[in-house]
């Protein structure tokens, strides 16, 4: 699990533990939040590992993959969840902002996925789930760099799913709507205000609601879905 200490990532860690999984996750800065997530995982009787390593650190991710394998064996499920956003208008977006968002949201897909994917293809089993956004699919007033990075994740999912199927590995994605997380509150205020009108549920999603879908999509019960982008957005008007 990448980005496991906040919002959707923390919820997925807890729900996966409830469903019987040992859970390893990375985080960027908050040791206190990492300890809270570990305690929630362990409260379900499962093992927890937390790694303070950036998702863009390729060497660090290779090290994490080896460490988890040594401790627990080959990983069976990978969730690419870590992401950042910034409320920029395209005309005033700086080089630094563009590079930060694209590096974190896109280049991390290579850094995180490759070492775990190699374990999966050797074991000839595994599930990869990528958390993308409806902002990659619909014309929403979100930042261009964020929408671009999340659209790249859809292409990554579609193409890798075909290659991975040869080795018994499935690759799918969830296109998330607006959830009550720190990341959501980086969105333009006008988008937050509009949300209750154009979403039939009339509210933001709860991280745990997406985590329940993620648990099913990465389980053996979900045996025939591959290369799919599942929209979970509260029923937005298209």
User: 197: which 2 tokens?
Assistant: 């009108």
**pLDDT value of position 187:** 67
Work out the average pLDDT over 181-185: 73
**pLDDT value of position 237:** 61
Q: Do 53 and 26 form a contact (C-beta atoms < 8 A)?
A: yes
Whether pLDDT at 29 is above 90: no
**pLDDT value of position 204:** 86
Within-domain flag for 2: no
Whether pLDDT at 238 is above 70: no
Within-domain flag for 181: yes
Count of CB atoms situated within 10 Å of the CB of 67: 13
Q: In sequence order, what DSSP letters do the residues of 14-28 get, joined into one string?
A: HHHHHTT--EEEEES
pLDDT confidence band for 196 (50 / 70 / 90):
confident
**pLDDT value of position 40:** 97
Percentage with pLDDT > 70 across the chain: 97
Note the pLDDT tens digit of each residue in 131-171: 999 989 988 778 899 999 999 999 999 999 999 999 999 99
| Number of structural domains the chain divides into | 1
**pLDDT value of position 203:** 85
**pLDDT value of position 131:** 97
d(C-alpha 99, C-alpha 40), whole Å: 34
**pLDDT value of position 207:** 95
CATH number for position 172 = 3.40.50.720
**pLDDT value of position 195:** 74
Determine the structural domain holding residue 197 and report its residue range.
7-232
Within-domain flag for 75: yes
Task: Look at 44 and 139; give whichever has higher pLDDT.
Answer: 44
CA dihedral 3→6→79→90, nearest 10 degrees, is -70
Note the pLDDT tens digit of each residue in 91-109: 999 999 999 999 999 999 9
Percentage with pLDDT > 90 across the chain: 79
Note the pLDDT tens digit of each residue in 3-18: 889 999 999 999 999 9
């Amino acid at each position: 699990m990448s980005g496991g200490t906040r919002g959707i990532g923390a919820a997925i860690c807890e729900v996966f533990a409830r469903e019987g999984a040992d859970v390893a996750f990375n985080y960027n800065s908050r040791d206190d939040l990492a300890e809270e997530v570990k305690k929630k995982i362990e409260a379900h009787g499962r093992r927890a590992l937390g790694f303070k390593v950036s998702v863009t650190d390729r060497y660090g991710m290779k090290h994490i993959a080896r460490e988890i394998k040594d401790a627990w064996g080959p990983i069976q499920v990978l969730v690419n969840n870590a992401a950042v956003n910034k409320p920029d208008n395209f005309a005033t977006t700086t080089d630094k902002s563009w590079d930060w968002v694209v590096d974190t949201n896109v280049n991390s897909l290579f850094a995180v996925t490759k070492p775990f994917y190699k374990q999966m293809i050797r074991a000839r089993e595994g599930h990869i789930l990528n958390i993308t956004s409806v902002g990659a699919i619909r014309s929403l007033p979100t930042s261009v760099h964020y929408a671009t990075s999340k659209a790249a994740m859809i292409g990554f999912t579609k193409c890798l799913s075909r290659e991975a199927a040869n080795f018994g590995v499935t690759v799918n994605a969830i296109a998330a709507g607006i959830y009550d997380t720190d990341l959501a509150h980086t969105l333009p205020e006008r988008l937050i205000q509009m949300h209750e009108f154009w979403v039939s549920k009339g509210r933001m999603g709860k991280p745990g609601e997406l985590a329940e879908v993620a648990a099913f999509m990465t389980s053996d019960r979900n045996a025939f879905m591959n290369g799919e982008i599942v929209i979970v957005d509260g029923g937005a008007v298209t």
